[in-house]
Amino acid sequence: MRKFQTVIFVLAMVIASTQSFRHIYVKWVASTGSVLDQFQSETESNISVAKSLEELVPLYAEAKSQVEKYESNATSPQIENYQRSVTEPYKSELRLKEEIESRESRQKQVVELFFYWAGGLFSILAGVLVYRRVNDWLGISAMLTGLTEMIYWTSPLHIYQPGGEFELLLNAKLGLSLITLGLLVSLWLLSGRHIRVDGGTDSA
């Protein structure tokens, strides 16, 4: 049992620590601009400086209005669907639509993150009770399930992206990753105390 616990603890610590370092890198190191930023289109510049989803809505409304105006003009050349992503006014509308959908997705990810991480915490707490009062293996299984949920849902964000929604998601992942590390250490100390109270260790 102790050998199994040691292997699981080491693996979980390595993964959680690596993820935490990755979050720190993305937050404070990777969030840098590029010399190519000066060549951005007006729409791309507006997207990069928009701090919230609400700031993008009027921009999209204006872009959509431009598309409708273009299409209502009988003299406007017909633009094929496959060309619209690189041709105005469709290009700006599509780019803003993609950014809005991306930021909405990040908002949903924040909710999912806290929900599943909290579920993992509940599983760990239940596992601790079972481990101490019922059965070691059942308790370990519940705690392992909880840790897996926590580690999976705090997985790294590899590319820095502008916007408050991304910052919120990144901060949440970083904070919960650090809490997960603290829980891992606490569980290891609790496990060692449990074995000492029982009067020895087993070699299984």
Q: What does the pLDDT look like over 112-148, one tens digit per residue?
A: 999 999 999 999 999 989 988 898 889 889 999 999 9
Residue 37: how many CB atoms within 10 A of its CB?
10
Residue 52: how many CB atoms within 10 A of its CB?
11
DSSP per-residue letters across 47-108: HHH--SHHHHHHHHHHHHHHHHHHHH-TTSPP--GGGGGGSTTHHHHHHHHHHHHHHHHHHH
Contact 12, 147 (CB under 8 A): yes
Query: pLDDT class for 190, splitting at 50, 70, 90?
Result: confident
Residue-level pLDDT at 20: 94
Letter string b/e over residues 115-153, b meaning 16 or more CB atoms within 10 A of that residue's CB: eebeebbebbebbbebbeeeebeebbebbbbbbebbbeb
pLDDT(70) > 60: yes
Residue-level pLDDT at 161: 83
pLDDT digits (tens, 9 = 90+) for 74-88: 899 999 999 999 999
| Percent of the chain's residues with pLDDT above 70 | 91
Q: How far is 134 from 66, CA to CA, in rounded Å?
A: 67
pLDDT digits (tens, 9 = 90+) for 19-63: 999 999 998 888 667 777 777 888 988 888 898 899 999 999 999
Residue-level pLDDT at 204: 42
Residue-level pLDDT at 198: 54
What pTM does this model have?
0.84
153 — alpha (psi -120 to 50), left (phi > 0) or beta? Answer: alpha
